[in-house]
């Protein structure tokens, strides 16, 4: 009997020696927590960081479903260390003087019996040479509204900006100037007289819409009947400005912001009515470069004359100002 009791005591002691300690419970990490702590290659972490910022405003369906799972938020991987990057350039208001060139006709020069028409005309081959000179000397033709944008700092200023403007909306612009501008990818602003469109010598409405859709040509206003606005009654002044704006807005599907005063004639009353009609930037025929401090509704221009040589043209853009 004593031997049996002794044997039981020995067996019980051995069992106690091999049993695990009850005071140290083992915790098994959940798979998602293991995934959080598992390191990933640097390129994957960069991609995750970029996609995370994208998902702030555009959550995916899987993200929304995972977030609502059992009321727990989706585990977020650790943010990778930031690395130096090149900052995105921020546009600043452009304050350098900018030349605004003024053209009318792009056609063969009339004879001496038409001195006014001759002075307002530039031969297509001369115009081609002028564009070639601009291209080979680093100039960037822009529209008038683009000039306003770089002045405000909402658009980065290109190298050597220059504005090409064409008054009256003659059909020879479409036939002679537009193909050349398009071949160079140059921007330009064309001021049209809405009451003269679809008549001989002037652009058609279809041409105006095509030019506007091109992305290269800005259409601006030039009144309905090309009247001297300084001599117009208050009623006629408002009608010439607003009817022009309305006709262009309806045809193009957007308002126009640029305007040219007929014959360059304006005063404080005309300027106020121009702004009231929705135009934000306007040009005159007063000579000079456009400066940052100029009145946006009275910008000067440089006239390109009919018999101007290429040397005289380049002098417009290179002379001290």
Lowest pLDDT segment from 76-85, 144-153, 193-202 = 76-85
> Domain map of the chain by residue range?
45-77, 100-318
For position 43, what pLDDT does the model report?
Answer: 38
Say what percent of the chain tops pLDDT 90: 69
**pTM: predicted TM-score of the whole model, two decimal places:** 0.72
pLDDT by residue (tens digit) across 134-168? 999 999 999 999 999 999 999 999 999 999 999 99
* Fold type of domain 100-318: TIM Barrel (3.20.20)
CA distance linking residue 235 with residue 237, whole number of Å:
5
Average pLDDT on 217-232 reads: 99
CA distances from 38 to 34, 43, 77, 78, 240 (A): 6, 15, 9, 10, 72
For position 14, what pLDDT does the model report?
Answer: 46
CA distances from 147 to 9, 101, 280 (A): 102, 13, 12
For position 321, what pLDDT does the model report?
Answer: 61
Average pLDDT on 110-122 reads: 95
pLDDT by residue (tens digit) across 229-262? 999 999 999 999 999 999 999 999 999 999 999 9
């Amino acid at each position: 009997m004593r031997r049996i009791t002794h044997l039981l005591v020995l067996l019980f002691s051995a069992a106690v020696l091999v049993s695990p300690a009850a005071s140290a419970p083992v915790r098994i990490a959940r798979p998602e927590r293991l995934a959080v702590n598992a390191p990933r290659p640097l390129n994957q972490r960069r991609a995750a960081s970029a996609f995370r910022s994208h998902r702030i405003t555009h959550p995916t369906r899987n993200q929304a479903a995972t977030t609502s799972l059992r009321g727990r938020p989706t585990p977020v991987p650790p943010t990778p260390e930031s690395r130096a990057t090149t900052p995105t350039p921020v546009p600043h208001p452009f304050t350098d003087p900018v030349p605004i060139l003024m053209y009318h006709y792009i056609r063969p020069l009339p004879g001496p019996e038409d001195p006014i028409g001759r002075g307002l005309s530039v031969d297509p081959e001369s115009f081609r040479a002028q564009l070639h000179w601009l291209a080979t000397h680093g100039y960037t033709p822009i529209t008038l509204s683009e000039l306003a944008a770089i002045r405000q700092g909402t658009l980065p200023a290109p190298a050597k900006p220059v504005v090409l403007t064409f008054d009256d909306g003659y059909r020879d612009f479409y036939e002679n100037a537009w193909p050349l501008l398009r071949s160079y990818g140059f921007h330009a602003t064309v001021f049209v007289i809405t009451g003269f469109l679809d008549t001989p010598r002037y652009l058609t409405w279809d041409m105006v819409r095509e030019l506007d859709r091109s992305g290269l040509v800005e259409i601006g206003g030039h009144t309905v009947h090309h009247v001297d606005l300084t001599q117009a009654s208050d009623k006629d002044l408002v009608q010439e400005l607003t009817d022009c704006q309305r006709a262009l807005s309806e045809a193009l599907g957007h308002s126009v912001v640029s305007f040219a005063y007929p014959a360059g004639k304006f005063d404080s009353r005309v300027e106020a009515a121009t702004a009231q009609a929705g135009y934000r930037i306007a040009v005159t025929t007063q000579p000079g470069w456009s400066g940052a401090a100029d009145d946006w509704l009275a910008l000067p221009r440089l006239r390109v004359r009919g018999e101007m040589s290429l040397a005289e043209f380049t002098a417009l853009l290179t002379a001290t100002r």
